[in-house]
Structure formats: structure tokens, C-alpha cells
Amino acid sequence: MSIRNTRGQSSTSWLHHLWIQVLLAMLVGILLGAFRPDFGERMQPLGDGFIKAIRMLIAPVIFCTVVHGVARIADMARVGRTALKTLFYFEVLTTIALIVGLAAVNLLQPGKGMNIDLSRVDTSAVQTYVTAGRNQTAGSFLMNVIPQTMVSAFVEGNVLQVLLIAVLFGFALIKLGSRGRWLLQLIEATSHMLFGAVAIVMRAAPIGAFGAIAFTVSKFGAGSLVSLGKLLGGFYLTCLVFVFGVLGPICAWCGFRLTALLRYLWDELLIVLATTSSETVLPRLIDKLEKLGCEEGITGLVVPTGYSFNLDGTCLYLSTAAVFLAQATNTPLPLGQQVGLLGVLLLTSKGAAGVAGAAFVVLASTLSAAGTIPVASVALVLGIHRLMSEGLTPTNLIGNAVATIVISKWEGALDEAQLHRVLNQTATEDATDTARVA
């Protein structure tokens, strides 16, 4: 009896892994969207509901994690130094991402020969995005970092506003010294409770992935892929080039393999791929990076900040889409103007957080600020924006994970022995699961 039970358990234990469940759910969603698009499109609430359930927990998770982390560091000078290093790293990497995107779109030229006449394109669907894009300025972005009230930051779920409040509270808690010890313990206990709530919600990840991918395939699948397949294929290729050609060597410099990190974050990558929202795994990413050996205070600062300032995939999307629209509409865009466009993107890309349809809004604001490419041309990529998000959101996630490890190592706050132990253990477990399936 015991032998039979053991065999049954070993043959099905791989099904208990979240990534297996999510992958199976995605496959079912793809099939449903392809063969029953009318029914698959009605699955959208499942994906949107899962994203909303995670988003409601993000603000309190960030607050507790950052306050506790900053208070544990207990050195305001070190927190400031870490913040400066983080912003410097983010600026360098996002600049590289923009350059890679520009180089790839000029090499592949996905818009060449399309000869789009904007007078025949219905641009009514993008007027909201165009208006929002024109209202996005550097001044408005900086003012938006400061919430109207402390409570409004949590109500709106604005990551940067919550981060600002959390850092202020962390500094105040440091000044309290021993008098604030009980409060620090309360925040730590609350943090554990919130991560427990995240774990409960994440059980619905396969359902959310199924609903999101079924809707995407139903609404944007075959037709969009055929008409703009060259742009999509080129963009996915560009994302892979950036991840393995830029982030890969950075990982090697830190002493570990990128493929090992991807294996460790496989659950999260599948979830953001299906939902096209990297916010869905923000709490899990913080937790996993801490287990990987990154100091809590560093992780609490770098990850939430990276969700606004280190959007590598979004930068690839912005530079690729902007030049593609110039090519498609036969708008002359010589090298000098592309360099100017790069300068505009360096500013506008930092506003790609906390805004509905952020990347699309920022694209519209970039074209408006540059003044060379018709703003109304964004209507050409509206239909496949969600499909392009399938590439940019996993790239954003990987970029922020690598950034956290780099900054932790830079600050001497990385337990490298634990890093290698966890990554090697993940590889061993995956090999065991593969053997069981076989």
C-alpha cells in the first residue's frame, strides 16, 4: 500500500508547482481563445479580477517592507547612498535599453513599405491616450510623487507615493530608537500577515492567467499577428537580445548565471506573461529576492523604485514603437532627430508608472514632445499593445530582479553563499520534477 501511494504521489507532485498550473491554464486559454473567441473574450473578468486582488495588497506590502527595511538599516546616510546608486544604475540601464530598441528597429525596419495614410485611419479610439499624454510633463510627474494626503496614496495605489511615505516613516522610526521597537515589531508582524494574504490570492493565479490569455487570444490574436507580425516578432527578438545580451553579462559579473535566475523566477515570469502586468508579482518578487540573499532594506527600496524608474522592457517598447510609426507613416527621421527622440524618451519613460495604460500614454506624450512623428499614428499600435506587453512586462521583471541583486552586491548586502545555494537548489528540484514527468 505504501509503495503504491508513494508512486502515485511522485507521479503527480509536479502538478503542485504553480508554474505548471499556470502553464496548463495558459494552454487551455489559448485553445479557448483560438477556437471559441466569442466565449474566450468573456473570460476577461477572471484576469482583471486577479490583477485587482493583487493590486489591493501592493501598497500595504510596500509600506511595511520599506519601513521595516529602512528601520533595520538604521543608517539614514546609507539609505541615501543606496538610493543614489540605485537611480544611477537605473538611468544607465534604461539608456542602454532605449539605444538597443532604436538600433533594432532601424535594422529590422518593420514599418518600411506600409505607407500608412493617417487620413484613412480611425484615431477616435486613441484620443483619450493622446490627451493624457500631452498632460504628462516632468513637472506634473514630480508633483504626482507627493500625495494629496497620506491616505490617498494607499487609496490610489500609487507606488512612488507609498514609497515616499514609507521612507519618511522609516527615518522617523530610526529617530525614535528604543521607543519605537514595539512599533517595528508590529510592522514586521503585519508584513508577514500581508505576505500570507498574497500567498492565498496567488492560488488563483492559474485562473487569472487562463482568463487573461483567453481574452488576449480572442480579441487580438490572429488578425493582429498577421497584419503587424513583423513588428511583434522584431520586438520580442529585441527583448531577448537585451535580456541575454545586456542583463546576462551583468549577472555573470555578479557571479551567477542569468538562466539560473530565470529558472528561480519561472512562476512569476509566466504570471506576468499571461496577465501582461508586472504588478501582479511585485510582493512575491520582494519575498523571493530576500530569500535569495538580498538584504531586506535594499530589496524594499530597489524593487518598488524600479517599478517606476527601471522599466527596461517599456523603454524597448517606446523606442521601437516610435521609430516604427515614423517608418509606417513615411515620416523622415534622420539620425540627429533619433538622438533627440532618445533624449525625450529618457525623460518621458520615467513617467510610465501609476498611469492607466502607462506605456501607451507615455508613447503619446513622447511623440507630442518630440513633434516630428504624428501623435495620431499611435492608433496603429493600439490593437497590438497588449500583445507587445507580452514581451515588455517579463523584461521589466527580469531587469528589476537583476538590479536588486546588483545593488545588494554593490552595497555589500548580498549573501552570495545563500544566492548560489538557492539557485542550485532550484535547478536540482527542476531536474527532479523533469525526471518524474518522464
List pLDDT tens digits, range 202-231: 888 888 888 887 887 777 655 545 556 788
Residue 352 lies in a domain: yes
Residue 407 lies in a domain: yes
- Average pLDDT on 182-196 reads 87
**What pLDDT score was predicted for residue 397?**
93
Residue 288's nearest CA partner among 200, 198, 352 is: 198
Say if residues 239 and 395 touch (Cβ distance below 8 Å).
yes
pLDDT of residue 60 exceeding 60, the answer is yes
**What pLDDT score was predicted for residue 137?**
57
Quick one: what percent of the chain has pLDDT higher than 90? Answer: 20
Residue 150 lies in a domain: yes
pLDDT tier for residue 3 given thresholds of 50, 70 and 90 = very low
More confident site: 36 or 316: 316
Q: In this structure, which amino acid lies at residue 31?
A: L
Residue 287 lies in a domain: yes
More confident site: 206 or 139: 206
pLDDT tier for residue 6 given thresholds of 50, 70 and 90 = very low
More confident site: 181 or 250: 250
pLDDT tier for residue 356 given thresholds of 50, 70 and 90 = very low
Quick one: what percent of the chain has pLDDT higher than 70? Answer: 82
**What pLDDT score was predicted for residue 354?**
44
Cα 82 to Cα 285: distance, rounded to the nearest angstrom: 19
Cell, residue 414: 548580498
More confident site: 362 or 237: 237
Could you tell me how far CA 36 lies from the centroid of its own chain? 30
**What pLDDT score was predicted for residue 141?**
60
Domain count, the chain: 1
Residue 5 lies in a domain: no
List pLDDT tens digits, range 257-268: 999 999 999 989
List pLDDT tens digits, range 73-82: 766 777 788 8
pLDDT tier for residue 185 given thresholds of 50, 70 and 90 = confident
Residue 1 lies in a domain: no
Indicate which CATH number applies to the domain containing 138: 1.10.3860.10
Least confident segment among 54-68, 221-235, 239-253:
221-235
pLDDT of residue 249 exceeding 50, the answer is yes
Say if residues 355 and 136 touch (Cβ distance below 8 Å).
yes
Residue 297's nearest CA partner among 80, 94, 57 is: 80
Residue 156 lies in a domain: yes
User: What's the domain range around 260?
Assistant: 15-437
Q: Would you tell me the crossing angle of helices 385-410 and 266-275 to the nearest 10 degrees?
A: 150
Decide: helix, strand or coil at residue 356: coil
Cα 54 to Cα 345: distance, rounded to the nearest angstrom: 30
**What pLDDT score was predicted for residue 142?**
66
**What pLDDT score was predicted for residue 93?**
93
List pLDDT tens digits, range 371-419: 778 777 777 777 677 778 888 889 999 999 999 999 999 988 899 999 9
